Amino acid sequence: MVTRVHLDVDPGSDDAVMIAMALGHPSIEVASMSTVGGNSTVDNTTRNALAILERFDRTDVPVARGASEPMEGTFDTAEWIHGENGIRGDLSEPSTEPVEAHGAELIVRQAREHGDDITIVAVGPMTNLAMALQLEPSLPDMVDGIYLMGGAATVAGNKTPMAEANFHNDPVAASRVIQSGRPFMAGLDATHDATVSGEMIDEYSGLDEPYDIVGPWLDYPDEIKRLGGGMDPAIHDAAVVAHLIDPEVLTFESYYLDVETTSGLCRGAVVCDERRVTDNDPNAEVAVAADTGRFRSVFEEAIDGLLEG
């Protein structure tokens, strides 16, 4: 069974790994992509998305440039983590251009065309997805599912003590997606365990394509590795596609959530009714654990698949 996906991304090294996995595994069909600012500017993330697709000979996948700013304020980019222009390693300038549609418009277009035969995967700030929900409020009923990489429901954040980076970058959008999108949220509760080993990174970096392309995307600064409690880097975004390939990678539980949208210390924090102290029905499926062994197995299988593509 093949899962058709629309990827909403801000590449970003972990986005790049996720894209490569989706392109390399036979059970995933990448129908389209949209870009958003976040890890770098939207100009850079769009360039990176196009360059990744061209590097893997998939220029047939349409890419739409999306939001350059969050719904309020400005994006806080992270080139110090992901590298100059938002991505590490050697990517040539793409020869292709994004399509004319805005990223949010492409999400809606794909939902209307494919219905429940497409899954939306959003792994950057939720701006495009929130805009798509404004354009088409029935979006959650139309598609097979909406999966997010973002948030920290029951654990500490990685941008602030309370907030994960994607939700912190656009908490208004994240709140709207949580409240109206009925998403599967893969946040730091689980994705810190979606790691690859240092030995694997070293091995990939010494091989030919596609491994030497992916190797630099996996090699995060030591300060970032330590946020997960170890030195094997967590490839957060990739956990979502890994779960779509193998539904045993992530374990989900139903909770009621909201997101703090103020500009104070709790900006972007997920409020999770973990103890069921309110009368609110669950509005999201929250990933509470990741199987590291299964994640690594899927990762290797998907990257190996790039050789056969």
| 5 strand-pairing partners | 30, 119
- CA-nearest of 160, 163, 168, 189 to 284 is 189
Residue 53 in contact with residue 22, Cβ under 8 Å?
A: no
Query: Choosing from 6, 102, 168, 236, which is the catalytic residue?
Result: 236
> Catalytic site residue 25?
no
Q: Measured between alpha carbons, how far is 218 from 119 in angstroms, rounded to an integer?
A: 25
CB burial of residue 182 (10 Å; 0-12, 13-18, 19+): middle
12 Cβ partners below 8 Å, 6+ apart? 38, 39, 40, 45, 48, 82, 86, 87, 124, 237
Residue 232 in contact with residue 238, Cβ under 8 Å?
A: no
Residue 285 in contact with residue 184, Cβ under 8 Å?
A: yes
CB burial of residue 209 (10 Å; 0-12, 13-18, 19+): exposed
- CA-nearest of 203, 185, 187 to 300 is 203
Catalytic residues: 236
